[in-house]
Amino acid sequence: MDDLRRAFDPEVFRSTGHVFVDQLADYLAAALRGTTPVLPAISPGEIVRVWGSEFPEQATGGLQSLLQRVIESSNHLHHPRYIGHQVTAPLPMAALCDLAAALLNNGMAVFDMGPAATAMERSVVGWMARQLGFGPAADGVLTSGGSVGNLTALLAARQAKAGFDVWSEGAHAGPPLAVLASDQTHYCVQRAVQIMGWGAGGVVVVPSDAGYRMRTNALGDAFRRAQHAGRSVIGVVASAGSTATGAFDPLESIADFCRDNDLWLHVDGAHGASLVLSERHRGLLRGIERADSVVWDAHKMLLMPALVTGVLFRDGARSYQAFAQEATYLFAGEEPQERWFDIGARTLECTKKMLSFKIYAALQVYGTRLFGDYLARTIDLAQRFAARLREAPDFEIAVEPQCNILCFRHVPPGVADLDALQLQVRQRLLETEGFYLVQTRLRGKQFLRTTLINPFTSDADLEALMHEIRRLAASA
C-alpha cells in the first residue's frame, strides 16, 4: 500500500512534474535552435536491444534519466530541419493540455464520463463545421486519426447510399459496393473499403492529371467501369490535399458529378482542410461546403499533438449512421439523436481520450489568426523553395506545390541511375542526423519528399539542404 500511496502522492507529482517540464523545455529550446540531431541514426534492431524488456520488482525511481533517453532516441519534430511526414511540431501548450487530459482520464463515450470534454468537443466540431462553410444542420465527432476518420465517414456514406441496410443485414444482402477515388488517394481509403468487406475492387480508380489532381472528366468512365464490374457506386472520395504531392482535387466539379449521379461526396481533407483558415489559400477548397462528409486532421496542419481528427457531416443526422448499433448498457436504448451528448455512439472508440481540450485551448488562448498565419507561412516557404529548385540546373521538382508538400530530385549530370541516387542521398542524409525528409515514387520516378510543416523551417535551412544533398551525392 505504501508503494501505491507514494505513486499517487500529489507532492511527488508536483516536484517530479516540475523537473519533467524543465527537461521538456530544455528539449524544446535545443530542438528549436537546431542543436540536437533531427533523428538519431540507429537501426530498429539496435535500439530494441539497447532498451531491453526486463523490469525490476521494486521501485527504482529514475524517471528523469528515462525521459532523457526517450527524448534523445526520438525524432525531433520541433527541429527546423524536420521536413518529413505530415505530423506537426505541436504547440507546447497543447502538449500540456494532453497531460491534463491524461491525468483526468475522462473517457468520453458517455456524457457522465467527460462533461467538459463533451462540451469542448461540441464547440470544436461546430467551429470546424462553420469554417468549412457547412450550415447549422452540420455535426460530427472527433476521433483518433485520419484513417479512423475516413472509415467512419465511409461507414455513414454506405448506410446512406447503399440502398439496403448493410449494417444490419451484411454486405452480402445487396450488390457489391464501390467508391470512386483518384490514384493519389491515401491508402487508408482502400483499407477502409476492404475493412467494410468490399474487396480490393471496392475502390475504382480515377486517373489524376499532370498536377496530380483527380481528372474529373474521367469520373463518368470510372463510374461505368464500376457498373460493368457489377458494382453499385455509392460515392466519390476526393483528396484535399493528396499525401504524395499535396494536390487538391477540383471539389466543385466533383460535387456536380455527385449531385448528378446521387452519390455521396467525401473529402479527405486530413492534410488540407486546415487551409480554410487561410484567407489566401482557402480557394483551393472551393466546393468543400457541398461535401457530405469531411475528414480534417488537427495533428497535421493545426499544430496539435497526434492524434485528433474531425469527422464532419453536412447533415449532422448522418453522423449517427456510421455505427448504427445500440449498446443499451451505455446508451440507455433511446434514439441516438436524443442522446447527442453520448458521443461514443458515433465513434469507433468506446473510451476515447479528451481530444478536444488542446484544440479548444489553442483557439481560446491564441485566437484563430495564429493558424492562418502559420499556414500561409509554410505554403509561401514551399513556393520559394520550389522556385529555388527550379532555378538550379541540378535539381527538378515533380510538380509546382499547391500547399506545403514538395517533391523534388537531384539530377547532377553524368549519373546513370538517378532513382538510386535519390535513395542513396536520403539514406546518407539520415545518417548525418542533420535533416529528416522522406521519399516517394511518382509516375515511375524516385523523388525526395518534404512537408514544410515546422513553423520555424527557414529558406536558409532549405538552402543548406540543397548544399548537403550536392555534397553527399558527389561522394556517393
Ligand X SMILES: Cc1ncc(COP(=O)(O)O)c(C=O)c1O
Binding interface with ligand X (CB under 6 A): 86, 145-147, 186, 188, 239, 243, 268, 270-271, 297, 307, 309
Phi and psi based region of residue 335 (left: phi greater than 0; alpha: psi -120 to 50; beta: remaining): beta
Q: Which CB atom, from 118 or from 190, has the smaller least distance to ligand X? A: 190
Q: Give the span between the Cα atoms of 241 and 93, in whole angstroms.
A: 27
Contact 261, 207 (CB under 8 A): no
Minimum distance of ligand X from residue 241's CB (angstroms): 7
The residue among 240, 249, 267 whose CA lies nearest residue 208 is: 249
CB of 372 to ligand X, least distance (A): 21
Closer to ligand X at the Cβ: 146 or 372? 146
Tell the burial category of 406 from Cβ atoms under 10 Å away from its Cβ (0-12, 13-18, 19+). Answer: buried
Q: Least distance from C-beta 304 to ligand X, angstroms?
A: 11
What residues contact 429, with CB distance under 8 A and at least 6 apart?
Answer: 435, 437, 468, 469, 472
Q: Cβ of residue 143: shortest distance to ligand X, in angstroms?
A: 9
Q: How far is CA 43 from CA 47, 201, 262, in A?
A: 6, 37, 51
**Closer CB to ligand X, 114 or 310, in the complex:** 310
Burial class of residue 325 (count of CB atoms within 10 Å of its CB; 0-12, 13-18, 19+):
exposed
- In the complex, the smallest distance separating the C-beta of residue 308 from ligand X, rounded to whole angstroms, is 9
Shorter beta-carbon distance to ligand X: residue 297 or 342: 297
Phi-psi region of 332 (alpha: psi -120 to 50; beta: other; left: phi over 0): left
255 or 273: CB nearest ligand X: 273
For ligand X, the closer of residues 36 and 190 by Cβ is: 190
Q: In angstroms, what is the minimal distance from the CB of 404 to ligand X?
A: 12
Q: Which is nearer to ligand X, 239 or 457 (CB)?
A: 239
How open is the CA angle 184-186-187, to the nearest 5 degrees? 115
Provide the minimum distance between the beta carbon of 38 and ligand X in the complex, in angstroms, as a whole number: 19
Rounded Cα distance between 396 and 405, Å, is 15
Residue 472: asked if its preceding bond is cis (omega within 30°), the reply is no
CA dihedral 379, 381, 385, 388 (to 10 degrees): 120
Q: Measured from the CB of residue 157, what is the shortest distance to ligand X in angstroms?
A: 16
Nearer to ligand X (CB atom), residue 171 or residue 307: 307
Taking the least distance from each CB to ligand X, the nearer of 231 and 449 is: 449
* Cα–Cα dist 276/279, whole Å: 7
Report CA-CA distances (Å) from 33 to 27, 29, 81, 468: 10, 6, 10, 19
Minimum Å gap between C-beta 407 and ligand X is 14
| Closest residue to bound ligand X by CB | 146
CA 423, distance to chain mean position in Å, is 25
Distance, in Å, from the CA atom of 72 to the CA atom of 89, rounded to the nearest integer, reads 16
Nearer to ligand X, 79 or 186 (CB): 186
User: Residue 297 Cβ, how far from ligand X at the closest point, in Å?
Assistant: 5
CB of residue 247 to ligand X, shortest distance in Å: 10
Q: CB-wise, 149 or 372, nearer to ligand X? A: 149
Instruction: For residues 185 and 188, give the distance between their C-alpha atoms in angstroms, rounded to a whole number.
Output: 8
Contacts of 360 (CB under 8 A, 6+ apart): 120, 123, 124
If one counts every other C-beta atom within 10 angstroms of the C-beta of residue 146, the result is 26
For 458, the 3-state DSSP assignment is coil
